[in-house]
Amino acid sequence: MILQTRLAEARAQLVTAGFDPRDAAADVDVLARAVLGWDRVRLLTDQNLETPGTLEPTFSQWIERRSRREPSAYITGVREFWGLEFRVTPAVLIPRPETELIVEEALAQIGSFTAPRIADIGTGSGVLAVSLAHELPEARIVASDLSADALAVARQNATRLGVADRIEFVATSYLDGVDGPFDFIVANPPYVREKDARGLSPDVRHEPDVALFGGADGLRDIAGVFDTVTRVLTPGGWLIMEFGLGQEEWVRELLATRQTLRIERVRDDLQGIARTAIIQRQ
């Protein structure tokens, strides 16, 4: 069987399982390249050749897992973020492109901080801490998380990407027990309302609840981040934080009760959704 035919069969299997044809095509491309170790160009140019013997049985097993809505990132074990390849497991949230806005805004605010001390609250797979360490060789970073399994993944990513010597991983809630001050704090806290669980896509429901749900109103952990920031962020320092759809008004109201924090602006993601708050401590 030529490779093109096998890939077409896999796409049809996913469409039959309820996938949009464009999503099915993208998933088949990702999974096939991951199994074969090929780039997109080679997969395109070699489609008319015989199916490589190394494709099976892994490819069929992966397509079956994907048909049950297991995310491709968990199947392949990797996801790209900020141009870097990160290991991901079901113990961590899958990195989203919109979260790169946090890295972008932190770098934009770095200004005169020549050797910044940075904290990443709820580090998960470590994408924020590791990406910032990769971009800022003089930075020293503390990355916290309640999950020991998530911290293990984050440590592996820091080691693989050569920045483990500049990141301290701490198992704690927010930054409890961690000495400040910090010049920057970055956070992508859980912000989905618990009552919205049923409306989430089957893919998202594979991700850990602790990384998704922020209490009844989705604001529990956002408020927790703000309380932490008022304690350990240096005056003039910055908090760059992600929040959820429709939460901008609530974020502003929470900040209004914390007089030392001022929202500089809010950044929209590529879909035009208010997504990232840039906040300075007075």
CA atoms of 261 and 235, how far apart (whole Å): 9
Average pLDDT estimate for 143-169:
98
pLDDT at 32 over 90: yes
The pLDDT value given to residue 39: 95
Q: Specify the pLDDT at position 213.
A: 97
In this prediction the pTM is 0.94
Tokens of 153: 């993944």
pLDDT at 44 over 90: yes
Token pair of 136, please?
């800022």
Tens digit of each residue's pLDDT (9 = 90 or more) over 63-100: 999 999 999 999 999 999 999 999 999 999 999 999 99
Give residue-wise pLDDT tens across range 189-231: 999 999 999 999 999 999 999 999 999 999 999 999 999 999 9
Q: What is the pLDDT of residue 148?
A: 97
Q: What is the pLDDT of residue 111?
A: 84
Provide the 10 A C-beta neighbour count for residue 156.
Answer: 16
Residue 112 has pLDDT above 90, yes or no: no
Give the pLDDT of residue 271: 95
Q: What is the mean pLDDT of residues 42-58?
A: 96
**Three-state DSSP string of the chain:** CEHHHHHHHHHHHHHHCCCCHHHHHHHHHHHHHHHHCCCHHHHHHCCCCECCCCCCCHHHHHHHHHHCCCCHHHHHCEEEECCEEEECCCCCCCCCHHHHHHHHHHHHCCCCCCCCEEEEECCCCCHHHHHHHHHCCCCEEEEEECCHHHHHHHHHHHHHCCCHHHEEEEECCCCCCCCCCEEEEEECCCCECHHHHHHCCCCHHHCCHHHHECCCCCCHHHHHHHHHHHHHEEEEEEEEEECCCCCHHHHHHHHHCCCCEEEEEEEECCCCCEEEEEEEEC
Name the pLDDT band for 30 (thresholds 50, 70, 90): very high
Considering only residues 32 and 111, tell me which one the structure prediction assigns the higher pLDDT.
32
- Rounded CA-CA distance 237/235 in Å is 5
**Overall average pLDDT of the 38-63 stretch:** 96
Residue 47 scores a pLDDT above 90? yes
Q: What is the mean pLDDT of the chain?
A: 97
| pLDDT at 81 (0 to 100) | 98
